[in-house]
Amino acid sequence: MNIKEIFGGVKKEEKEKTPVSPFTSPKEKVLREGEFSLRTNLGGGINETDFVRIEGDGSGVLKKVREKGCANRERAAYLIDRFLGFNFVPPTVLKGEREVLQEFVEDAETADTYGKRAKKETGVSRLPIPKDQILKLHVFDFIIRNVDRHKGNYLIKDDKIFAIDHEFSLSESKFGESSGIVEYQLERIVEMVGQGERISGDIVASLKKFYSWPEGQELLAALLGELIDKEIVKEFIKQLLEFIEAITEEGGLDGPKILELIKQR
């Protein structure tokens, strides 16, 4: 024991480690640290939004949102997306108090403008949005308690969905309260599964893996806890695990467990 330890109070406390996601994409570093070679202010919308070109590595949409919580929830939705294997949300990072930067998806269209008409105009053969993708999106929205999904805030590219605009997910004001929209999402999941649609195998496997990975649950909770209220995070993880329990290995739903979930909400 050295003299400093004997007299106490001088031993440096070990610094708390900042949790790091094992799913961190290299793109996040680019978004976080890259220099902008172009920054153009976009017209319209309620947020101050810029299109940015990142020096030598793609583009992004930079949003200055009304409050810090909105930016944090955008990042939180991205983290959940990665941990659970949905791969819907383009890499998303915080850029300051109220700014959030998300990778720009080139050649994507909002679901609002995607349709048969474009097929005629461009000569590109396009299929309707696959039902399993829509079901997967409902599942994602239900999990993140997103109260703001419509055709203006998801994109389609090569028959794949990209989910954007998650300012109103994990909403503190509505979380835990009976939100009609969240109930609606669960009803839609139940309805689609009832019609024979199944939650895709990759997402079932990914959710089940998360369920049996307590360290991952703790890590996600720690990462989310840096962004949103810890009590909300605790409740989120609890409800997520209950929902995963209600999903069968075949991508169907366990009726009694789902009824229990509906009763709780």
Partner 1 sequence: MKYVEFYKLNNDGSQTTIATCYLKDGGVVECEGNENLIENLKNEGIKDYTEESGQTKLYFKDGLKFLEQLKYNFKSGYLNASDILEK
CB-nearer residue toward partner 1: 188 or 257: 188
Q: Which residues contact 204 (CB under 8 A, 6 or more apart)?
A: 247, 249, 250, 251
* Whole-angstrom distance, CA of residue 14 vs CA of residue 21: 21
CB-nearer residue toward partner 1: 155 or 253: 155
| Contacting residues toward partner 1, per CB under 8 A | 38, 40, 42-47, 49, 51-53, 59, 61, 63, 104, 106-110, 112-118, 147-148, 150-153, 155, 164-165, 179-181, 184
Assess contact for 153 and 179: CB atoms under 8 A: no
CB-nearer residue toward partner 1: 13 or 121: 121
Least spacing, CB of residue 180 vs partner 1, in Å: 5
* Whole-angstrom distance, CA of residue 195 vs CA of residue 55: 48
CB-nearer residue toward partner 1: 16 or 177: 177
* Torsion region of 118: left, alpha or beta (phi above 0 gives left; psi -120 to 50 gives alpha): alpha
Least spacing, CB of residue 102 vs partner 1, in Å: 9
Least spacing, CB of residue 145 vs partner 1, in Å: 12
CB-nearer residue toward partner 1: 155 or 232: 155
Least spacing, CB of residue 143 vs partner 1, in Å: 18
CB-nearer residue toward partner 1: 170 or 219: 170
Burial track 41-58 (b if 16+ CB lie within 10 A, e otherwise) = eeeeeebebbebbbeebb
Q: Which residue has the tokens 């930079």?
A: 62
Distance of CA 66 to the CA centre of its chain: 19
**Residue 63: which H helix or E strand, with range?**
strand 59-64
* Whole-angstrom distance, CA of residue 126 vs CA of residue 5: 70
CB-nearer residue toward partner 1: 74 or 199: 74
Least spacing, CB of residue 54 vs partner 1, in Å: 12
Least spacing, CB of residue 116 vs partner 1, in Å: 8
Number of Cβ within a 10 Å radius of residue 223? 20
Reading the block at residue 79, the tokens are: 């983290």
Which burial class, exposed, middle or buried, applies to 95 when counting CB atoms under 10 A from its CB (0-12, 13-18, 19+)? middle
Least spacing, CB of residue 189 vs partner 1, in Å: 17
